[in-house]
Amino acid sequence: MGSTYLLQQLLTGISLGGAYALIAVGYSMVYGILMLINFAHADIFMMAGYFMIFSFAAMPWPVAIVVVILGTILLGVTIEKVAYKPLRSAPRMSIMISAIGMSYLLQNLATYLFSALPQAYPAIPGLKKLIKLGDLNSSMVTFVTPIITIILVVLLMMLLKRTKIGMAMRAVSKDYDTAKLMGIKINQIISLTFVIGSALAAIGSILYFTDRMSVTPFSGTLLGLKCFVAAVLGGIGSVPGAVIGGFIIGITETTLIAMGYSTFSSAFTFLILIIILMVRPTGLLGETLTEKV
């Protein structure tokens, strides 16, 4: 009994961490390129949940998944073009406030359009199937989430390290102005960053909501903050850092709840943020920043 119990809790934690990691990567990448904390990211994730509810009702599920990912990408890129691009030369604070505004706009729009009542998330065939391994019971999606997360992140790392586009992205994140001088098309690179971030958020949303089965306009709020903490913990700007941060947060939260401290599980996450900012502001895998004069 003891070991199954531990395994069951560990599985829950890893699965939650996987979902966190996918969203944290989105925060981290945008920060790496634009030095912007994209507060609307969590709400893009929430909107992806609603996209799925509607497209699932209208078309077969494999098509619905593709439509959701494409729709979310479109939303993410549109937000960048409308709310962030015009402010690119403005002080960094302005663009951050614009991001906060976007976040509230999306939340209120969702409340207005879909009401604040929780909506049932559709069950994608196969993902909700029950799996039994001895005494260990769980649905397919719990097992699949961390695996998909790892695969996607490995693919993303390969894109960043092995391709020309990836090299361009790394260059932009290293030095925005010099990269521009070297003939890198900045706008394309930024759009691509939002495409990748939004696509990961869409996949994360499918995995997260399939496991939890309901969406509200505020589903993204607390989750977004936690994923932001995960990104900071891992070292904001670093993709593998965000993944490690996501898993750490997911597993610690589950551990605390399992130990009976559910009251403190969220508080602890933010305590981690405070401690990391005090002790190691660059995060676990973050590069130490040398201020250029």
- Sign of the dihedral defined by the CA atoms of residues 189, 193, 198, 200, in that order: positive
258 sits near another protein (criterion: CB under 8 A) = yes
59 sits near another protein (criterion: CB under 8 A) = no
Looking at beta carbons only, is 111 or 282 nearer to another protein?
111
Kindly give, in sequence order, each residue whose CB lies less than 8 Å from that of residue 87, ignoring residues fewer than 6 positions away: 94, 95, 98
Looking at beta carbons only, is 46 or 236 nearer to another protein?
46
Kindly give, in sequence order, each residue whose CB lies less than 8 Å from that of residue 102, ignoring residues fewer than 6 positions away: 39, 40, 43, 79, 83
**Binding test (CB under 8 A) with another protein, winner from 54, 61, 218, 268:** 218
78 sits near another protein (criterion: CB under 8 A) = no
Output the smallest distance, CB 140 to another protein, in A: 10
**Binding test (CB under 8 A) with another protein, winner from 74, 82, 100, 275:** 82
- Specify which residues 119 forms β-bridges with: 215
225 sits near another protein (criterion: CB under 8 A) = no
Kindly give, in sequence order, each residue whose CB lies less than 8 Å from that of residue 20, ignoring residues fewer than 6 positions away: 223, 226, 227, 230, 245, 246, 247, 249, 250
120 sits near another protein (criterion: CB under 8 A) = yes
5 sits near another protein (criterion: CB under 8 A) = yes
**Binding test (CB under 8 A) with another protein, winner from 57, 58, 93, 130:** 130
* Cβ–Cβ under 8 Å, residues 15 and 208: no
Cα 37 from Cα 56, distance rounded (Å): 31
Q: Near another protein by CB under 8 A, which window of 65-73, 134-142, 194-202, 225-233? A: 134-142
In single-letter form, the type of residue at position 180 comes to K
270 sits near another protein (criterion: CB under 8 A) = no
- Look up residue 30 and give its two tokens: 């945008």
- Look up residue 244 and give its two tokens: 């490690």
Output the smallest distance, CB 49 to another protein, in A: 11
Instruction: Give, in order, the Cα–Cα distances in Å from 115 to each of 108, 161, 216, 229, 237.
Output: 9, 44, 8, 29, 35
Cα 49 from Cα 28, distance rounded (Å): 21
266 sits near another protein (criterion: CB under 8 A) = yes
Q: Which helix (H) or strand (E) holds 133?
A: strand 130-133
**Binding test (CB under 8 A) with another protein, winner from 14, 23, 103, 211:** 211
> What are the φ and ψ backbone dihedral angles of 88, each rounded to 5 degrees?
-60, -30
Cα 244 from Cα 267, distance rounded (Å): 20
90 sits near another protein (criterion: CB under 8 A) = no
Cα 93 from Cα 210, distance rounded (Å): 36
Output the smallest distance, CB 57 to another protein, in A: 14
Q: Near another protein by CB under 8 A, which window of 59-67, 111-119, 224-232, 271-279? A: 111-119
Output the smallest distance, CB 210 to another protein, in A: 11
Looking at beta carbons only, is 81 or 180 nearer to another protein?
81
Which spans of this chain sit near another protein (rule: CB under 8 A)?
Answer: 1, 5, 8-9, 12-13, 16, 82-83, 86, 101, 105, 108-109, 111-112, 115-118, 120, 130, 132, 135, 137-139, 142, 211-214, 218-219, 222, 254, 257-258, 260, 262-263, 265-266
